[in-house]
A = this chain, B = another copy of it.
Amino acid sequence: MTAVSVPTSTKFDLGPARALLCRECGNETPLAPEYACLECFGPLEVAYDFGKIRREDIEAGPRSIWRYRGLLPVPSTVEQHPNTDPGGTRLVEAHNLAKALGVRKIWVKDDTGNPTHSFKDRVVGVALAAARELGFKVLACPSTGNLANAVAAAAARAGWKSVVLVPSNLERAKILMSAVYEGDLIAVDGNYDDVNRLAQELAAENEDWAFVNVNVRPYYAEGSKTLGYEVAEQLGWRLPDQIVVPIASGSQLTKVDKAFRELGQLDLVEATPYKVYGAQATGCSPISAAFKAGHDVIRPVRPDTIARSLAIGAPADGPYVLDAVRRTNGAIDDVTDEEVVEGIKLLARTEGIFAETAGGVTVATAKKLFESGQLDPDAETVLLITGDGLKTLDALGDTIGPRATVPPSAEAVIKALGSPR
């Protein structure tokens, strides 16, 4: 799988992006609206010629992901077009959580602060910028939640049409969250797999539709690198010892790893060793299962978990996740739905951060990996919290509520506070 360097040229201004490179056979092809290798049908990834990039130039940039535009497949003029300007979210030192887990130092990267409150704004931002340059006219996706939000909002802001496909049995609240932007939200009678297949078919038939996670995927996926860049910059331009990343398709984990490697290669940080850890819900844990069994092949599963934003039974980037985790001496584990809920509540109680179920997966898996000794309690650990608890309120069920319901008297309040929980 060595890259075969062939002369490439492009008519597109996608900044430092040089070509598309097949992750399987290494074949290089010019930058284009493609996503599968013409030689072997393997997935394509963006390759770069970065040139010299300095910390000062990044630091002088905007607060959004566009401060890293020199590291992304987007035009240098990206900021001149309306977009949601994602990124620049908090990196919170989690003293109370570290204390609760009995470990030295934990940082929480809180991506709920993005415009539509998940990391999907990052990938959609990059996809939109690349799609514009590549000549697409419509922003589209299949989704069951966060991505639908991000695409509908980004298209509205950009003045583009959007086509968002969701399963018709999606919760009403999630439909409203995306429908409010008044793009073309279409409910499809079928499950997410049906919707995804439909997106592939529509992408093939409508050449100016950019399905961000299908035919624009090589560009889209690069947006996740910005999570890695931000963490390193917010730590004072250095890499953490350990980072725990939730796994859906697995793309995010591989891109955070890619970001850390790039920063080292570009001398933007010292290339210190780091370990990448993956987190799954047991009800959809094909990569965790393969990791534990020492397999290289991922056996698809039928998802059954409350962590619906991670519920991809046949994760496209599974093998690359295994590579990254094994290369960095990390690990992968999975947690039950009960542990997910406990993870959400632990983070909320200790740090005042309300994560969606995927965040509960990350926190609970980190707890488990500390307990098993696979995460080092004396090292510094970063947890990626990629989505917002307001979007998955149902998952908390009846596990929380008021401490007491009382008549309007001060005495009643004091009495309620004094009673055992």
Contact = CB atoms under 8 A, between A and B. Distances in A.
Contact of A157 (B153, B154, B352): B352
A152 interface: yes
A385 to B, nearest CB: 12
A317 to B, nearest CB: 25
Given A177-B354, A353-B115, A408 B90 contact: no
A352 B402 contact: no
Those 6 A-B pairs whose CB atoms lie nearest each other, nearest first? A153-B352, A157-B352, A156-B352, A187-B402, A190-B408, A187-B405
A88 B57 CA distance: 21
Contacts of A197: 408
A239 to B, nearest CB: 22
B348 A181 contact: yes
Given A163-B417, A389-B180, A352 B188 contact: no
Given A117-B390, A408-B198, A349 B181 contact: yes
A130 interface: no
A1 interface: no
Interface stretch (A28-36, A165-173, A253-261, A323-331): A165-173
A195 interface: yes
B115 A96 contact: no
A368 B179 CA distance: 25
A207 interface: no
Interface string A324-360: 0000000000000000000011001111111000000
A417 to B, nearest CB: 6
A304 interface: no
Interface of A: 63, 82, 84-85, 88, 90, 92-93, 95-96, 110, 112-117, 152-159, 163, 165-166, 168, 173, 175-177, 179-182, 184-190, 194-195, 197-198, 201-202, 205, 344-345, 348-354, 388-391, 393, 396, 400-410, 413-414, 416-417
Contact of A407 (B158, B184, B188, B410): B188
Contacts of A154: 352
B402 A186 contact: yes
Contacts of A175: 401-402
Given A390-B177, A396-B180, A186 B416 contact: yes
B354 A180 contact: yes
Nearest to A85: B90
Given A63-B63, A90-B115, A354 B95 contact: no
Given A186-B404, A352-B157, A405-B168, A410 B117 contact: no
Given A82-B95, A408-B195, A156 B349 contact: yes
19 contacts: A63-B88, A85-B92, A115-B353, A157-B352, A166-B402, A176-B396, A177-B354, A177-B390, A179-B400, A179-B401, A180-B345, A180-B348, A180-B396, A182-B345, A186-B416, A187-B406, A188-B408, A190-B408, A194-B408
